[in-house]
Amino acid sequence: MTFPPDEVAADRILHSAQRIADRLLALQRRVNEQMDATQSQLLPQVREHLGYGTPEPVDLAGLTNSRIVGLDVVVTPEAVATVLPLTAASAETTRAGRRAVTDIVSGTDERLAIIAGPCSIHDPVATLEYAGFLRAMRDRHGDDLEIVMRAYTEKPRTEVDWKGFAYDPYLDGSNNISVGLIATRILMGQITALGVPVAAEPLNALTPQYVDGLVTYNGVGARNVTDQTARERVSGFSAVVGFKNSPEGSIDAAVQAVIAARAPHEFLGVDRHGMTAQLSTTGNETAHVILRGDKDGPNYSAAHIADTTAKLAARGLPAAIVVDASHGNSQKDHLRQPGVVRDLAGQVAAGERAIRGVMLESNLVAGRQDLDQRRPDALEYGKSVTDACVDLDTTAEMLAELAGAVRTRRSSAGRG
């Protein structure tokens, strides 16, 4: 029995994505053949009309694509969105999530934004089980927290390693990107259909279009914060955007990125059919700084918050800061995340308003494990294959502590 795309059983998502990819790739090859035939017929006529003669034959061996060993057709964003359109439930989740997080970042909503979830997702079944947990947490803490799920399917790498579910969904080095992109859209569609907004960290200029309308929050990672092309791209994102400080700890780099992303830009991109296009953006007024610590230590203390607030004010930017409780702030030790949260909760309870959100790395099972691409079936269920995460019980405790801090801050303001 087959299922409509929005009803795919969790353990059948990759199978369904493969079926969709096979059909769409066959169609795309036909489209490409027709395009090649049309251009082969018409482009010589254009040259002739412009007064150019017949080009002389040139040997291009060793000059072009000298290190490309494969070139495969990939499904287009338009084709994927046509087969897998947004449901009304998903659209409403994203719309409400963006509005809520935007209000929190701008200071008109006194709650905290929480971006919680696995360092990276790799198992659709475990991913949807975790989404169910967050659904319950949203119901419990909705008055104090706007909880968004980390659904990161692209992973930045300092050198070489598994690049994420969107690129290698079978975890075996087969790198079936079309299947990964389709499966990512199915997963995000099912998460948002549960009423849980989604956060992502796009690394490629093309991938965001495959999940257009499904992402509430986009984080730009520490390795990309100085990339001007990344800054320009997110100036046109419909989602809320945050920039992490650089791996070396430069907050100035994140502040500069915020300024760039808030401005309008013109640049080369692609349209939904995968064709090169000139994109014009308005600028993204939600752009803000994320403090994630660095190799030398954390940067979440009250003194760090005050220093960052001063840097923002000096550039005419609002005091809006999200703090990542993992990475440098926990020195890559997931067991230190609760301590970071305890400090942040204390600052919030004491009245600090520059802290607008907190990021948590959390999964069904605590810790991490190595991925052996020869034996992906040997992985422990619900445990990260990238950075170590805290478990559900610890996550629930941290969320309760942050929610309590918001209530304390609210009541103190009321007495004032």
For residue 357, is pLDDT > 60? yes
Q: Which of 124, 130, 179, 152 has its CA nearest to residue 12?
A: 124
pLDDT of residue 2: 39
pLDDT-derived band at 127, boundaries 50, 70, 90: very high
CA 1 to chain centre: 33
pLDDT, residue 203, reads 87
SS3 of 296-348: the string is CECCCCHHHHHHHHHHHHHCCCCCCEEEECCHHHHCCCHHHHHHHHHHHHHHH
Q: What integer pLDDT is reported at residue 274 of this predicted model?
A: 87
Measured between alpha carbons, how far is 20 from 30 in angstroms, rounded to an integer?
16
Rounded average pLDDT over 405-410: 97
Per-residue pLDDT of 25-34, as tens digits, reads: 999 999 999 9
pLDDT digits (tens, 9 = 90+) for 134-177: 999 999 999 999 999 999 999 876 666 899 999 999 999 999 99
* CATH code of the domain made up of 86-367+374-415: 3.20.20.70
The two tokens of residue 144 are 């104090």
Taking only the tens place, the pLDDT of each residue in 210-240 is 999 999 999 999 889 999 999 999 999 999 9
- Percent of the chain residues past pLDDT 70, beyond the cut: 97
Range 262-276 average pLDDT: 93
Over range 314-337, report the average pLDDT. 96
Measured at the CA of 322, the angle between CA 395 and CA 132, to 5 degrees, comes to 35
* The pLDDT of residue 1: 29
- What is the model's pLDDT at position 24? 98
pLDDT-based confidence at residue 205 (cuts at 50, 70, 90)? confident
Q: What is the mean pLDDT of the chain?
A: 94
Give the number of residues written for the chain. 416
Q: Tokens representing 247?
A: 């791996």
Mark residue 195 as left, alpha or beta (left: phi above 0; alpha: psi -120 to 50; beta: remaining): left
Q: Is the pLDDT of residue 406 over 50?
A: yes
HSE-up (13 A, CA, CB side) for residue 227: 16
Q: Measured on CA atoms in the order 401, 407, 413, 416, is the torsion positive or negative?
A: negative
414 has pLDDT over 90: no
- For range 83-97, the mean pLDDT: 97
